[in-house]
């Protein structure tokens, strides 16, 4: 199986590297800057202590590198889906399996419509941070989720330490992941690693407010949410509001997270890239509009992240300042 990773960012390089380590023939396709960073090979680590070193993998900057692929994993940012479809359209082998491993809700459907062929929806349930050079670190626990496709080699993913959780319908999974991703904006604005940010009650109260707004909209829309944590989605805002010490005790049982983890949106702001805010908090705002309602907390978070992406120097928000701003939205 020749696997093409279209979108060699943190997730793409980590997943592609793990699959290559398990014996797959992998080509990474991304921007020249990433190709330069990977010139000395890949170094993959995770919160459980994995420490893998790989020689440089084949790397390309153009879509023609997918021409011999039997599996194409599309890992570009959500805002780049339309461009990805345009680039891939004339190079994809007719029999290749296409999988979208992207944030947001509608990427697989949009890619499928643009390409005129099926795209399997998938979801990455863990965080990967780019540590510089070829070093990528999985900082939180989680697995890959994917809609059922009989042609996928599940055994290969299992050997790579990336077991696939297969679902008949990925929509509840995608909407469930979106709720967890609402922390991305808060983490980016805090300027802190995830563990430090979630360790402070005021930041968690910000997340609880965004999640409660989202849960209310999902109830009105009759949109089910898959359970992606040990607790039901409806319980999470209450847990987030607990005092720090009690939350820390519960959090250790709910989610393994190490001090290196940070959100991809935080990386986007640090590196001067366009943040993926529209596919996350923007999706909440669009749901509210469809229902004839509003989503002031998530819309305020969108505005703050957009402002931060154009500001130099970039402001970092304390938990108290951010909470007061969201409460006045």
The pLDDT tens digits for 114-134 are 999 999 999 999 999 999 999
Which helix (H) or strand (E) segment holds residue 59: the answer is strand 59-60
Residues 6 or more apart from 223 whose CB is under 8 A from it? 172, 175, 217, 287
Instruction: Give percent of the chain with pLDDT exceeding 70.
Output: 100
pLDDT of residue 242: 96
Q: Above 80 in pLDDT, residue 150?
A: no
Q: For residues 204 and 279, what is the distance between their CA atoms, to the nearest angstrom?
A: 21
Whether 254 shows a pLDDT value over 80: the answer reads no
Whether residue 309 is predicted with pLDDT greater than 90 in this model: the reply is yes
What are the CA-CA distances from residue 220 to residues 213, 288, 306 (Å)?
Answer: 11, 10, 28
> What is the model's pLDDT at position 6?
98
- What's the mean pLDDT in 153-180? 95
Q: What's the predicted TM-score (pTM) here?
A: 0.93
* Per-residue pLDDT at 230: 85
- How much is the pLDDT for 17? 98
Average of pLDDT values for 287-314? 96
Statement: residue 255 has pLDDT above 80 = no
Domains of the chain (ranges plus CATH)? 2-168 (3.40.50.720), 173-327 (1.10.1040.10)
Residue 257 — very low, low, confident or very high, per pLDDT cuts 50/70/90?
A: confident
Question: What pLDDT was estimated at residue 229?
Answer: 86
**Residue 261's pLDDT band (cuts 50, 70, 90):** confident
The pLDDT of residue 313 is: 86
Percent of residues, the chain, with pLDDT higher than 90: 88
What's the pLDDT score for residue 133?
95
263-266 CB contacts, 8 Å cutoff, 24+ apart: 263/127, 263/183, 263/184, 263/187, 263/188, 263/194, 264/9, 264/10, 264/11, 264/103, 264/127, 264/128, 264/184, 265/184, 265/185, 265/187, 265/188, 265/305, 266/184, 266/187, 266/188, 266/191
Asked if 86 and 114 touch (Cβ cutoff 8 Å), the reply is: yes
> For 66-81, what is each residue's pLDDT tens digit?
999 999 999 999 999 9
Report whether 101 contacts 11 (CB < 8 A). yes
Alpha-carbon gap, residue 222 to 232, rounded angstroms? 16
Evaluate if residue 253 carries a pLDDT over 80: no
Q: What is the pLDDT of residue 326?
A: 97
Using the predicted structure, report yes or no on whether residue 97 has a pLDDT greater than 80: yes
Q: pLDDT at residue 220 above 90?
A: yes
Q: Per residue in 41-94, pLDDT tens?
A: 999 999 999 999 999 999 999 999 999 999 999 999 999 999 999 999 999 999
In angstroms and rounded to an integer, the radius of gyration of the C-alpha atoms of the chain is 19
pLDDT-derived band at 259, boundaries 50, 70, 90: confident
């Amino acid at each position: 199986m020749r696997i093409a990773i279209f979108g060699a960012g943190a997730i793409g390089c980590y997943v592609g590297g793990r699959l290559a380590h398990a014996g797959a023939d992998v080509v990474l396709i991304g921007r020249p800057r990433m190709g330069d960073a990977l010139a000395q090979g890949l170094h993959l680590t995770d919160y459980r202590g994995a420490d893998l070193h790989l020689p440089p993998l084949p790397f390309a900057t153009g879509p023609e590198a997918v021409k011999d692929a039997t599996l194409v994993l599309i890992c570009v940012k959500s805002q780049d889906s339309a461009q990805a479809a345009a680039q891939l359209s004339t190079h994809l082998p007719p029999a290749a399996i296409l999988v979208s491993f992207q944030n947001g809700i509608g990427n697989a459907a949009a890619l499928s419509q643009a390409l005129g062929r099926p795209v399997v929806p998938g979801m990455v349930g863990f965080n990967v941070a780019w540590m510089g050079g070829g070093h990528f670190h999985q900082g939180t626990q989680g697995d890959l989720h994917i809609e059922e496709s009989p042609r996928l080699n599940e055994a290969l993913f299992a050997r790579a330490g990336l077991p696939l959780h297969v679902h008949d319908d990925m929509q509840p999974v995608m909407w469930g992941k979106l709720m967890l991703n609402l922390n991305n904006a808060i983490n980016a604005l805090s300027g802190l690693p995830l563990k430090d940010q979630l360790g402070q009650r005021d930041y968690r109260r910000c997340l609880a407010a965004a999640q409660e707004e989202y849960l209310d909209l999902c109830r009105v829309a009759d949109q089910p949410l898959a359970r992606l944590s040990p607790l039901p989605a409806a319980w999470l805002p209450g847990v987030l509001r607990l005092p720090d010490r009690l939350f820390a005790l519960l959090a250790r049982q709910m989610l393994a997270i190490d001090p290196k983890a940070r959100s991809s949106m935080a990386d986007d702001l640090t590196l001067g890239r366009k943040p993926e805010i529209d596919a996350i908090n923007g999706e909440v705002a669009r749901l509210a509009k469809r229902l004839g309602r509003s989503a002031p907390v998530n819309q305020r978070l969108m505005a703050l992240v957009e402002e931060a992406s154009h500001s130099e120097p970039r402001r970092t928000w304390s938990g108290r300042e951010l909470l007061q701003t969201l409460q006045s939205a």
